[in-house]
């Protein structure tokens, strides 16, 4: 029986076109970093390289350390260390402008509220490639509160990324949850539905579907928020 529900954030609780979001994100980051001597194309490639390092992280260090180790390889430890406060400030300030590149669906917050009132334990299982400040902002843009969740994954508190199953295993271990009592809800076939391999139930939210490998989604329970609530009701005493 489902007791715990894990939600993805981007494209799930927070509607978005990933390409538009990424463009808005980099546009503001480039402007922020330019006075410190960062050339736009190199900076963007470096952030992607740091992201790739996080995705490859094998658990020995945090994703934050994986990112900054790679960034330091490119720009040097001294410059990376000196400029990290500037990048941290970006996520606290200028990043808020990226909100205009995201959508909003009131059904997301309504669904979370309903499930919380019903007593489900909720986890925000968003790919931990962002600092906490950026994750907390996106939670607010979705009309939610970070305290709605027992845990929200960030690059500071995580040692793996999706689609590595160990990302989900780390959440289960941290919260002492059984996979068989969990439901993973997300919009990305590759990154979110992999949780099924651990024994979790899964639900594919199709409003902002990501299906890079064009897999057959009929094998997964899927639909919008109303179908999600029906699925949960069918699998609990909800």
Name the one residue in this structure whose structure tokens are 């402008």: 97
| Rounded Cα distance, 54 and 191, in Å | 14
Give the Cα-Cα-Cα angle 205, 149, 28 (nearest 5 degrees): 70
Per residue of the chain (238 residues), what is the pLDDT tens digit?
A: 999 999 999 999 999 999 999 999 999 999 999 999 999 999 999 999 999 999 999 999 999 999 999 999 999 999 999 999 999 999 999 999 999 999 999 999 999 999 999 999 999 999 999 999 999 999 999 999 999 999 999 999 999 999 999 999 999 999 999 999 999 999 999 999 999 999 999 999 999 999 999 999 999 999 999 999 999 999 987 6
Buried b (16+ CB within 10 A) or exposed e, 147-167: ebbebbbbbebbbbbbbbeeb
| Contact present, 155 and 129 (Cβ < 8 Å) | yes
The predicted pLDDT at position 238 comes to 64
Pair 134, 155: CB distance under 8 Å: no
* Token pair for 36: 């410190």
Q: What is the pLDDT at residue 224? A: 98
- Residue where the block lists tokens 């959508």: 103
Cα angle for residues 144, 150, 156 (degrees, 5° grid): 90
Q: Who's near 64: CB < 8 A, 6+ residues apart?
A: 131, 155, 156
Cβ-contact 33, 46 below 8 angstroms:
no
Average pLDDT score, the chain: 97
Nearest to 98 by CA among 30, 156, 172: 30
């Amino acid at each position: 029986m489902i007791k715990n529900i894990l939600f993805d954030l981007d494209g799930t609780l927070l509607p978005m076109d990933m390409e538009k979001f990424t463009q808005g994100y980099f546009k503001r980051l480039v402007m922020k970093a330019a006075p410190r001597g960062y050339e736009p194309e190199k900076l963007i490639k470096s952030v992607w390289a740091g992201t790739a390092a996080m995705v490859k992280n094998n658990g020995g260090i945090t994703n934050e350390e994986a990112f900054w180790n790679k960034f330091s390889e490119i720009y040097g430890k001294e410059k990376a260390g000196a400029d990290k406060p500037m990048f941290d400030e970006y996520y606290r300030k200028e990043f808020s402008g990226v909100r205009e590149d995201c959508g909003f669906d009131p059904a997301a917050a309504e669904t979370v509220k309903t499930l919380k009132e019903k007593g489900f334990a909720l986890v925000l299982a968003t790919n931990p490639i962002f600092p906490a400040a950026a994750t907390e902002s996106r939670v607010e843009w979705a009309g939610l509160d970070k305290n709605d969740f027992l845990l929200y994954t960030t690059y500071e508190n995580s040692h793996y990324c999706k689609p590595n199953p160990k990302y989900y295993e780390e959440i289960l271990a941290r919260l002492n949850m059984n996979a068989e009592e969990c439901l993973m809800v997300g919009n990305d076939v590759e990154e979110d539905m992999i949780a099924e391999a651990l024994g979790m139930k899964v639900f594919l939210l199709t409003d902002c579907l990501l299906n890079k490998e064009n897999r057959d989604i009929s094998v997964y329970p899927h639909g919008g928020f109303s179908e999600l609530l029906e699925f949960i009701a069918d699998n609990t005493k909800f």
